[in-house]
Amino acid sequence: MNVVKLVSIAIVSLGWANLAPAQPATGPAVVLENKEKPKKDSPYRIIQGIVKDQADNPLAGAIVQLKDTKTSKVIDFATKSDGKFAFRDLSMGNDYEVLAKRGDLASPVKKVSIYDTRKEVIINFTLQPPVKQ
């Protein structure tokens, strides 16, 4: 009777061993590296930033104007409560002029050239009252 139990246990053990998945001999199945995917080289650029007042507070409701100097097209962006703006998917082959204004406060024009190879251009504005002469 002990022989019958031993044979039964051996058959069941062999059956369970065949059900277990085989591990590859080349290495672990778990990848431990956490690499970022390489970013695709985009033909576009982003111009973004923050508009602030003289006390360095973000300005809500400021108008940021982006002018494409090639086509003379002007795009306006009204800032939210955080004072941030962003113009996305801009051609690397065009020059741009950017300015911010709110009421009688204005900024000087800032230019982004085709020779500027940055994909992400950050321009921050501090609005000043007009200079009285």
For residues 26-50, give the mean pLDDT: 72
Cβ-contact 100, 125 below 8 angstroms: yes
Q: What is the pLDDT of residue 16?
A: 54
Provide the residue ranges of all domains of the chain, joining segments of one domain with +: 49-126
Does the pLDDT value for residue 106 go beyond 80?
A: yes
**pTM as predicted:** 0.66
Neighbours of 43 (CB within 10 A): 9
Cβ-contact 74, 65 below 8 angstroms: yes
CATH class of the 49-126 domain in this structure = mainly beta
Of 94, 92, 96, 100, give the one whose Cα is nearest residue 125. 100
Cβ-contact 69, 48 below 8 angstroms: no
Q: What is the pLDDT of residue 17?
A: 54
